[in-house]
Structure 1
Amino acid sequence: MNASEETLPKNDIVLLGAGHTNAHIIRMWRMKALSETRLTCVSNLTTATYSGMVAGTLAGQYHASRNEIDLVRLCAACNVRFIHAQATGLDSDNNLLLLDNRPPLKFDALSIGIGSQPQTLSAEDIGLTIKPMQTFLPRLSAKLQELASLKKDRPLRIAIVGGGTAGVELAFCLPKFIQRQFGKLGPVELHLIEKGSQILSDMPPRAQILAQHELARQKVHLKRNCTIKSARSDCVEFENQETLPVDLLIWATSATALKLHSPINLPKDERGFLLTRNTLQSVGNDSVFAVGDAGTVENQKLAKAGVYAVRQGAILWKNLRNYLLGVPLKKWRPQKTFLTLINSGDSRAIATYGQFSTHARWCWHLKNWIDSRFIDKYQYYPDPSKMQHRHKQVRNHGNKPMPCGGCGCKVSASVLADCLSKIKNPTAEQVLLGIQPPDDAALVKYGSGDAVAATTDFFTAFTEDPYLLGRITALNALNDLYVKGAHPTAALAMAILPPGSQSQQINILDNLLAGAAEEFRDLNVPIVGGHTIEGPKLTFGFTLLGDAVAETVMQKTTPSPTDCLILTKPLGIGVLLAAHMRAACKSNWWETLRDTMLSSNLTAAQSAKRLGATAATDVSGFGLAGHLHEMLVTQNLSADIVLESIPQLPGVQELLSQGIESTLAPHNRESFGRNLKSKTKALDPATAILFDPQTSGGLLITINKHKAEDLLTALAPGAAIIGKVKKSDGNRPVLQLSHSC
């Protein structure tokens, strides 16, 4: 095997959910990854929330971002594959994790850490639940905003259901959040409802008394021995026939299993949680572990508490390793006594250890120290480029950055131009569009019939999620046909798979083709063949064929002076993909990036053709400057570009200012930077975006200025008029840049 090759893993560990226990495994992977093993985290959310700091966020002690773990960055930093998907069940007989609208995920060991949810009356209950924690603050803010718009001339009535630690802490801190963020709501009438005779029933009497005194001091109305019979949008009815008018009901009750537990065909306890041995393995399948709130250790009656989930992390780490190595597993022994700290929202906390309880400022400082120390471990996102996946052998690039994938892996435009100019093609009358001048797709006409459009597009992988890669690869390849106005009819796949077992290669190719087929299906485009080889790095792409009417084909090189330039998608895909390789792409940026790449250009191309666009191309590897140059050079035209009008993805300017860019960007700058005429330098972030390679990027369209607004109206939000075409003063295209109109 060549040292430049990467190989597929022999073993797959999958983490479902990123609760405290599973998060520990991700962090440990950065330091002690298992040889020939891949770790994958599957989550329907891109962030995880540390529950210990949510109350502090409500109280204004922390910014909301302080209690968030960015799973996209954490997984990238730890060389863990992240798959953003919704799990739907488990095929435990075949060790398959079932996912929504995509192929199942094969595993050798699976750790389920999906948490729990508060117990409510039914699935249709009115109000908010505190879980999932990741979405509690946005859901709470949206509901309070809705209530603020009603402008009632009385106090806002809120009831919290559940007198455990979560409910009591929420009662302490919620009013401060409302006062700070929604002061116009006015005074708040807050009720804490507990069905038992005492709040904090699992704590010593001293802690209960301290909490009751603080609730009374904060004027929280405590209702004990109150079991809710029903809940409506405006009131709660108790079993004793009493009612309580409410504007907002929040459930912070004891834990119950999530809906996802139901289709998992493994033994469960009476509440629906997965039943495990003290090794944290399911009693029904040794390869499945259930941790945190998701699991219940048989013969142990323990509360669902975060402290247990945190302490399980070290045991799970050892047992996953031992299970794959075939050696005996460790037993988890929960601690009998542990420290509990309840934030009272005023820079004090109630501390309880055994029978000892106190309420003091130093307790909050202790809590803040513990919580900050914990979250700091998971908000550390170092650049992983110097690390190696233990299941891969990766080329040593010396001082050069690791090459980008996607369209960022193209060779430079100067190399391509030099080679294409040397080809001595025979005269072929049937070729209407080819490489002289080069266009996005070839156009070949046979006889008197319609022409056939053909294009080839492939690139190295920029993500370890092969299903997502398949979808984006298909959409990217389709762009070349769309800009010709051609109708795609067939696809031939090309794949280079890294060395590995047959089962691993089958799995990755299944996902690639399934993802691509998902995008082709609605277009009625079949995959009719292709070619697959083994090679040093995962590479995927397509040759596409399409029908086209030669007389109406849109060309790349036919813009007219005074035409408006319209860009259909924001720029910055290459920058964000480069940042993702460095664990610097934030989760919200990554979600927008993914959605942009998954956005089809079909409607944009159809609208451009219908409204009479004079020329069109897709913006891909050579960046906006390079592809605009290709549009202008044949007719020796130039263009005025308004930099502030160019749409950009969130985070791009911040990353460019840090010097983060695609590895192809310097080559694009070298090839096309001399065409710029600007007061700013080509390396300036405002200008650097012009050289950013796009993967599944937008279309660049020229159209008569009188039709430009009509086209813009027909396009998706994010499209923009970025400049205009003009005659050249010299013998080459010039891009005149200005910062504003």
Structure 2
Amino acid sequence: MQTLTDADIFAAGDIGAVVDHPRPKAGVFAVRQGPPLTENIRLRLLGEAAKPFRPQEKFLSLISTGDKCAVVSRGNWAAEGAWAWRWKDFIDQRFMQKFNKLPEMYPAKMDQDVHLDPRLVGAEHAAELVRAGVSEIGDLPKGLTDTEKALGAISTFVMRCGGCGSKVGSTMLDRVLAELAPSSRSDVVIGLDEPDDAAVVNVPEGKQLVQSVDFFRSFIGDPFVFGKVAANHALGDIFAMGAEPQTALATVTIPYGVESKVEADLLQLLSGALNVLSTENTALVGGHTSEGSELALGLTVTGFVDAGTAMRKSGMNTGDILVLTKPLGTGALFAADMRCKAKGRWVCAALCSMTQSNRAAADCFIGYGTTAMTDVSGFGLLGHLVEMTKASGVATTVTLDIVPALEGTLEVMDKGIFSSLHAENVRLRRAISGLEKAARNPVYPLIFDPQTAGGLLASVPADNAESCVNALRELGYGSAIAIGEVREADAGQPAIQLLV
């Protein structure tokens, strides 16, 4: 499976033909080539000789005739019938189940000895040579580093400096920034297009600054989409305060790697963030980019609001109606996705929700006289509701069964899959009355689920609540719903009552 023209290129399946051993283009050969292909690629990387491969001469063929019958053959023998189709269906279903039912992944136990493949010693030896300052390609194991490009790739993963030595190089950063087109604002005096040490912005007269920062590591493999989600999440705090975003500073951690890959990931990440920031007329005015083990993005967002008009969590009044704009479940769904237990459509729907801006919802709430507002994020619905009731000196009643959930959330929770922050959020259950009955409801775990780029939770005067919900739905928040009401606090009693 090693090509004749290049020892570093391998082929398997229909795209390759085995010299001296011609075989039909059948799936059975492609499947059987997998293990020896993996083995020989490893040997090549370690500079060792590849093992010869000879495909089987006889194989079983099962071809459906389209009427739940099939033809079966092996060598000179052949037969047909419905039994052959059932045989083929059994084999096909068993094969596909390997992709639908993946084995569980368990974290490594660091207190136990971990078995290492002895052949990896070759790679470790190469890394030690690089650390020692080896400059001649011939000094490294043959096959592992045949070119200067390969040597550079290896050196990428050895000792990395801290401090400012961990920053991404200026040349690469300049190339990335040249590809971007951040939005500009007239109130930004010195921004990203200038070489100065800090940004300078004007604050409109009669305005107060509103500032917030968010930072977290990536949970998906697409840097562009992650950039969009992170930017939307960071802006949520500004909108929840009823403010207008003005500028943003980015803090990026980019994984160690070959320069071309690092540059591509950084470009995609910042392009995704700018896609959202530009839509919201928010100027990216600077930031810091450093190396790390995982891709992460943080944004410090600055906005402004008319003096004395910022929305707070502390304004809830007895009789107000609690309105939620987006469904819950991002924490559990992406925990399931990490285990390959989430369906594609569930993840896609969650990402659509996470990239939906909260600006229009915030404006709508303010227009209908909302008294208090917050965005639902890491502490979950219950955690943020606890903050609001405590700050306002009131209690609330929530109808558990109508709290909206993203598709698939309750299903993965029923399987015991939760976010790693879920258990910490559950500690707030002491704020709930009627806990014993509520805990038996399948929706109960949902209120503890940490949200990324979640929706807004607001208290709206009862007379305006129905019109507000209808307006939110017309604005594209299809899951917007009134989930409860604000009531007077009872001394010595939990502040949140769950109705089931």
Q: TM-score, normalised by structure 2?
A: 0.71
Superposition deviation, residue 643 in structure 1: 0.9
SS at match of 1:386: coil
Q: Matched residue pairs, number? A: 406
Distance in 2, matches of 1:280 and 1:642, equals 65
SS at match of 2:226: helix
Distance in 1, matches of 2:275 and 2:41, equals 34
Higher percent of residues as strand: 1
Distance in 2, matches of 1:694 and 1:647, equals 13
Superposition deviation, residue 535 in structure 1: 4.9
Equivalent position of 2:495 in the other structure? 734
Equivalent position of 1:460 in the other structure? 217
Equivalent position of 1:342 in the other structure? 63
Change (3 A) 1:585 1:327: same
Q: Percentage identity across aligned positions?
A: 37
Superposition deviation, residue 371 in structure 1: 2.4
1:500-649 to 2 correspondences below 5 Å = 505-535=262-292, 537-649=294-406
Distance in 2, matches of 1:359 and 1:528, equals 71
Contact 2:2 2:9 in 1 (8 A): no
SS at match of 1:451: strand
Contact 1:640 1:736 in 2 (8 A): yes
Contact 1:486 1:546 in 2 (8 A): yes
Q: Does 1:371 align with 2:371?
A: no
> Which amino acid letter does the alignment assign opposite residue 379 of structure 1?
N
Contact 2:71 2:79 in 1 (8 A): yes
> Which amino acid letter does the alignment assign opposite residue 297 of structure 2?
F
Q: Does 1:717 align with 2:461?
A: no
C-alpha RMSD of matched pairs (Å): 3.4
Superposition deviation, residue 617 in structure 1: 0.6
SS at match of 2:498: strand
1:174-213 to 2 correspondences below 5 Å = none
Superposition deviation, residue 537 in structure 1: 4.9
Q: Does 1:357 align with 2:78?
A: yes
Change (3 A) 1:446 1:662: same
1:225-624 to 2 correspondences below 5 Å = 279=2, 291-293=12-14, 295=15, 297=17, 305-326=26-47, 338-344=59-65, 348-387=69-108, 448-497=205-254, 505-535=262-292, 537-624=294-381
Distance in 1, matches of 2:349 and 2:308, equals 38
Distance in 1, matches of 2:13 and 2:307, equals 63
Distance in 2, matches of 1:374 and 1:454, equals 54
Change (3 A) 1:684 1:288: farther
SS at match of 2:103: coil
Change (3 A) 1:387 1:381: farther
Distance in 2, matches of 1:280 and 1:706, equals 75
Superposition deviation, residue 456 in structure 1: 0.6
Equivalent position of 1:705 in the other structure? 462
Superposition deviation, residue 605 in structure 1: 1.7
Higher percent of residues as helix: 2
Superposition deviation, residue 547 in structure 1: 2.6
Superposition deviation, residue 379 in structure 1: 3.1
Distance in 2, matches of 1:496 and 1:342, equals 52
SS at match of 1:680: helix
Contact 2:438 2:499 in 1 (8 A): no
Distance in 2, matches of 1:513 and 1:630, equals 33
Once the two structures are superposed, what CA deviation does each residue of 1:554-592 show, in whole Å capped at 9, x if it has no partner?
222212222211111111111122223333323332222
Distance in 1, matches of 2:44 and 2:226, equals 31
Superposition deviation, residue 338 in structure 1: 3.5
Equivalent position of 1:661 in the other structure? 418
Distance in 1, matches of 2:246 and 2:204, equals 19
Contact 2:430 2:494 in 1 (8 A): no
Q: TM-score, normalised by structure 1?
A: 0.49
Equivalent position of 2:159 in the other structure? none
Superposition deviation, residue 504 in structure 1: 5.4
Stretches of structure 1 that go unaligned for 5 or more consecutive residues are 1-277, 392-444
SS at match of 2:322: strand
Change (3 A) 1:371 1:567: same
Once the two structures are superposed, what CA deviation does each residue of 1:47-77 show, in whole Å capped at 9, x if it has no partner?
xxxxxxxxxxxxxxxxxxxxxxxxxxxxxxx
Contact 1:341 1:352 in 2 (8 A): yes
> Which amino acid letter does the alignment assign opposite residue 73 of structure 2?
T
Distance in 1, matches of 2:364 and 2:10, equals 52
Superposition deviation, residue 609 in structure 1: 2.2
SS at match of 1:707: helix
Change (3 A) 1:684 1:532: farther
Superposition deviation, residue 724 in structure 1: 1.3
> Which amino acid letter does the alignment assign opposite residue 252 of structure 2?
A
Change (3 A) 1:531 1:738: same
Stretches of structure 2 that go unaligned for 5 or more consecutive residues are 121-201
Distance in 2, matches of 1:468 and 1:286, equals 37
Distance in 1, matches of 2:351 and 2:291, equals 28
Equivalent position of 1:110 in the other structure? none
Change (3 A) 1:702 1:448: same
Once the two structures are superposed, what CA deviation does each residue of 1:684-730 show, in whole Å capped at 9, x if it has no partner?
54222111111111111221222222222232212211111122222
Contact 1:668 1:691 in 2 (8 A): yes
